[in-house]
Structure 1
């Protein structure tokens, strides 16, 4: 069956998404001093996610919603991750994650995910269906005092986006997203599972020695042309401050490639604006069909095999040639 940008199955859950997104009431107007204090407190929570960390990834499929489905065994893994602040305009904050491992006694660097935070956003680039991300308006009454978080894949193509507020419960502050759609992570995609996307809530919360990212994922799959829940998954990623690894290798990688990656980000942003979103074919093993090449070129810049200018030129060409126009009429129709 030919993949469309917005499937009828996804459209059938728009009403559910909208209702869930409005679960929290609008934030009432506050005195200027209180508004400013809340804004700065939110910024401090986001900026606290930058640093050097030991990371623990804990994933557990728990409750099966589909008869006969057997949840996967719990999976726990770990690693080292550098998170760097690469942009901060006040209302817009960008954090780049870089994984550091060791291979044959030498540091091995993997450019990892990126998270962009925007204060009181008018819209977000949300996952809409397989291979497509489209612009989704944030309801005007829900913008005040809230932040969006957009997560980008290793090649700076989009992954998912949501919006929400920093709320205090039990003396603790946490950011909670609206319900958001996400494509399968590689760990699931390579298994050819019965589900093909996640419907999720994300929470971010600082701790005395780092921060946590908690994902509450409903894994969804098509059955008779309708999206249905398959299994519930809980993911807790714990970032603990830690300097006992080769942090310098990550910083050296970023220093050598940040110009290239800035151009790549700009190229994706341009496509999202001019083509009504981003539509690109994805592969289970690699993410987008151009992901491997975009990452390899960064390494070639470091090794002197490719100039930065040449790498940027090829990256722009690959992104332009492998993305398609998003049909605004289809998007509008699916969201009615």
Structure 2
């Protein structure tokens, strides 16, 4: 009888393991399906404001479009890295903007959670809290940190989606024009659809001060659609990446040494009156470890 019971429990364990592997493979397929060539629409609208100030001026509604190539940089069982490359200008004279990067890591326990004023707090989560989950890490154009959070990919009723709420610095569309709040609390939803994928956002514009409760100034809706088009439409971005991928591998490797310190991270806003991306996007003067590493060190407090 004991032998039968043991066999039964071993069979259940094997079935559970098979199910877990299948689920992780579904997750990987969903994540990697965000790669490729897309026509992208970026849409943001401020929805509600809570300032109590009659002179308050909301952010303008934004509608932008572009062509974006999402390059699969790393494809491992537990880690997937994808680089976004935005194509601007005419077809005859395209210009490539190294855009944001997203890394996905399975059952990750170490996160850099944004606090405020260019500070990220190092946080360790219990293993049981991230079982079956994927951490999405989002990076700036210079591969410095932006935001990250952990959640479970959901595959149900023909849908695949991942949703998480986490703090982030102000978006570029905002920090050049707004100084009345300093944290964007982002609820990000990535959903895979028949013709591509959707990045849906419900964001809180937050005033955060040390030792005080957060104050929500306003809220916004973001709805970015990625509609798949022929890969040939993104050839200029593909060519850019072939030419520049080794440089950006050096940048990522340097950042990895910074993140491996596993301690809170504080970054300078500017060094010698220049932001980091103005240094690192200069492909002519900053393209080796000898030129890249000192720049990143100069920004890390």
Bin for the TM-score computed over the shorter chain: 0.7 to 0.9
Within-5 A mapping of 1:65-104:
65-68=50-53, 69-102=56-89
Deviations along 1:202-240, one digit per CA (max 9) or x if unpaired, are 111111010011111000014795420011111011000
Q: CA deviation at 1:71?
A: 3.1
Partner of residue 157, structure 1 = 144
Within-5 A mapping of 1:242-253:
242-243=229-230, 246-253=233-240
Q: Which structure is larger by alpha-carbon Rg, 1 or 2?
A: 2
Gap change, CA 1:139 and 1:234, over 3 Å in 2? farther
Within-5 A mapping of 1:147-296:
147-168=134-155, 170-177=157-164, 179-222=165-208, 226-243=213-230, 246-274=233-261, 276-282=263-269, 289-296=275-282
Partner SS, residue 230 of structure 2: coil
Alignment of 1:122 onto 2:109? yes
Which one has more relative contact order, counting CA pairs under 8 Å at least 6 apart? 1
The 2-side partners of 1:94 and 1:56 are apart by 22
Alignment of 1:320 onto 2:297? yes
Q: CA deviation at 1:40?
A: 0.5
Question: What 5-or-longer segments of structure 2 have no aligned partner?
Answer: 1-13
Mapped contact 2:188–2:201 kept (Cα < 8 A): yes
Partner SS, residue 293 of structure 1: helix
Mapped contact 1:267–1:316 kept (Cα < 8 A): yes
Partner of residue 328, structure 1 = none
TM-score by length of 2: 0.87
Alignment of 1:31 onto 2:16? yes
Mapped contact 1:271–1:277 kept (Cα < 8 A): no
Shifted more, 105-114 versus 266-275: the winner is 266-275
Paired residue total = 283
